[in-house]
């Protein structure tokens, strides 16, 4: 009965992106260097750091793990910000597990922020500003890794229609995103809407619609509260369902999903039941491997964005 559903693994998608990153790397004089700051004892963070180290090194990037006391981290970040040997910076969160973590996020220079979480980068993203140097438009703004990984997956699966103009390629698609966190769900909903989709962003507080309006008349997306809406309204009309609810208890109700929908899970646990394969046309069970390649791609962007010595 699973015959019709294609299960697509992140590794296959990562491979294609890696080839693009590898060709970009060839033009660099030295391997781009990433500093990973680990200031907690969280085993998941340690695992992610080790995994990043391995993937970076296997692909010609230089990764240096910096284990620091969390009270020293802000100073360490300021030093790395002005150190020419350091191209990119990533901090493994949570550090304090409180609002203080946001101060750390703000401390990382936007010119070294591979995660794309600096205030200016986030603000560019929400406003659909794609370059750092308008009107020249030679230096691309850095996008947050996990949302961008989802976009790269949708491109790989041809959900982006390349017959349409750039930034309109999701026109006509309805997409449900379950999770509206500040680091993944909300930026993802905004990016998809900026590319032309009608997005239903679902969280425990309710459903919001992100969209550029009829005929994509608006330059950037607008957000509307969908009073009285729940998954019952969103799922049956969605071409794509993207879920990222933490914990192993949450499951997207398969019965509500449209026949032939494309289903993507970015939670570290499985948000879809096994019977999703009897409903979906394409199922992507995990995306972590793509996220790491996007991180390297962001690092490459950052070194490409640097003005050359003679200022050109």
**Is 241 a residue that touches ligand NAD (CB under 6 A)?**
no
Catalytic-residue membership of 145: yes
**In terms of CB distance, is 190 or 216 closer to ligand NAD?**
190
**Is 11 a residue that touches ligand NAD (CB under 6 A)?**
no
Smallest separation (angstroms) from ligand NAD to the CB of 56? 15
Query: Which residues from 251-270 bind ligand NAD, rule CB under 6 A?
Result: 266-268
Of the residues 5, 56, 145, 234, which is catalytic?
A: 145
**Is 146 a residue that touches ligand NAD (CB under 6 A)?**
yes
Smallest separation (angstroms) from ligand NAD to the CB of 30? 28
Residue 266 · residue 287 · CB < 8 Å: yes
Does residue 301 sit in helix, strand or coil? helix
Smallest separation (angstroms) from ligand NAD to the CB of 67? 22
Burial (Cβ within 10 Å: 0-12, 13-18, ≥19) of residue 156: middle
Does residue 171 sit in helix, strand or coil? coil
Of how many residues is the chain composed?
A: 312
**Is 141 a residue that touches ligand NAD (CB under 6 A)?**
no
**In terms of CB distance, is 132 or 175 closer to ligand NAD?**
175
Q: Is the dihedral of CA 194, 196, 202, 208 positive or negative?
A: positive
- Runs of H (alpha helix) within 127-265: 145-156, 185-194, 231-234
Residue 240, Cβ neighbours under 10 Å: how many? 24
Beta bridge partners of 67: 38
Give the whole-angstrom CA distance, residue 203 versus residue 251. 14
**In terms of CB distance, is 61 or 86 closer to ligand NAD?**
61
**Is 291 a residue that touches ligand NAD (CB under 6 A)?**
yes
**In terms of CB distance, is 52 or 146 closer to ligand NAD?**
146
Among 183, 240, 263, 276, binds ligand NAD (CB under 6 A): 183
**Is 233 a residue that touches ligand NAD (CB under 6 A)?**
no
DSSP state of 307: P
Residue 293, Cβ neighbours under 10 Å: how many? 24
Smallest separation (angstroms) from ligand NAD to the CB of 271? 9
Secondary element (H or E) of residue 54: helix 43-58
The alpha carbon of 188 is separated from its chain's Cα centroid by a whole number of angstroms, namely 7
**In terms of CB distance, is 31 or 288 closer to ligand NAD?**
288
Among 144, 185, 187, 196, binds ligand NAD (CB under 6 A): 185
Smallest separation (angstroms) from ligand NAD to the CB of 63? 17
Q: Using DSSP, how many helices (H) and how many strands (E) does the chain show?
A: 9, 11
**Is 147 a residue that touches ligand NAD (CB under 6 A)?**
no
Residues that bind ligand NAD (CB under 6 A): 146, 149, 178-181, 183-185, 202-204, 244-246, 250, 266-268, 287-288, 291
Active site residues: 145
């Amino acid at each position: 009965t699973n015959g019709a559903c294609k299960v697509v693994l992140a590794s296959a998608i990562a491979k294609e992106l890696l080839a693009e990153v590898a060709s970009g790397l060839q033009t660099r004089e030295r391997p781009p260097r990433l500093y990973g700051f680990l200031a907690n004892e969280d085993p998941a963070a340690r695992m992610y750091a080790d995994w990043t180290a391995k993937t970076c090194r296997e692909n010609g990037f230089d990764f240096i793990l910096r284990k620091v006391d969390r009270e020293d981290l802000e100073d360490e970040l300021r030093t790395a910000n002005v150190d020419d040997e350091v191209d990119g910076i990533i901090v493994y969160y949570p550090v304090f597990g409180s609002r203080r973590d946001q101060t750390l996020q703000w401390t990382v220079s936007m010119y070294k922020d591979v995660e794309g979480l600096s205030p200016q980068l986030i603000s560019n993203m929400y406003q659909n500003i794609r370059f750092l140097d308008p009107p020249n438009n030679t230096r691309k703004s850095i996008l947050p890794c996990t949302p961008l990984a989802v976009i790269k997956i949708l491109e790989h699966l041809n959900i982006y229609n390349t017959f349409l103009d750039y930034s309109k390629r999701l026109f006509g698609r309805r997409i449900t995103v379950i999770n509206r966190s500040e680091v993944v769900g909300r930026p993802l909903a905004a990016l998809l809407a900026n590319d032309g989709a009608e997005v239903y962003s679902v969280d425990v507080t309710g459903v919001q619609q992100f969209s550029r309006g009829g005929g994509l008349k608006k330059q950037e997306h607008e957000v509307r509260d969908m009073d009285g809406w729940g998954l019952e309204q969103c799922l049956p009309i969605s071409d794509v369902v993207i879920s990222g609810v933490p914990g192993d208890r949450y499951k997207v109700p398969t019965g509500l999903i449209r026949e032939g929908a494309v289903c993507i899970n970015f939670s570290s646990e499985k948000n879809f039941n096994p019977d999703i394969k009897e409903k979906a046309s394409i199922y992507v069970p995990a995306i972590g491997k793509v996220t790491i390649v996007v991180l390297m791609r962001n690092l490459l962007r950052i070194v490409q964005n640097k003005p050359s010595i003679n200022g050109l």
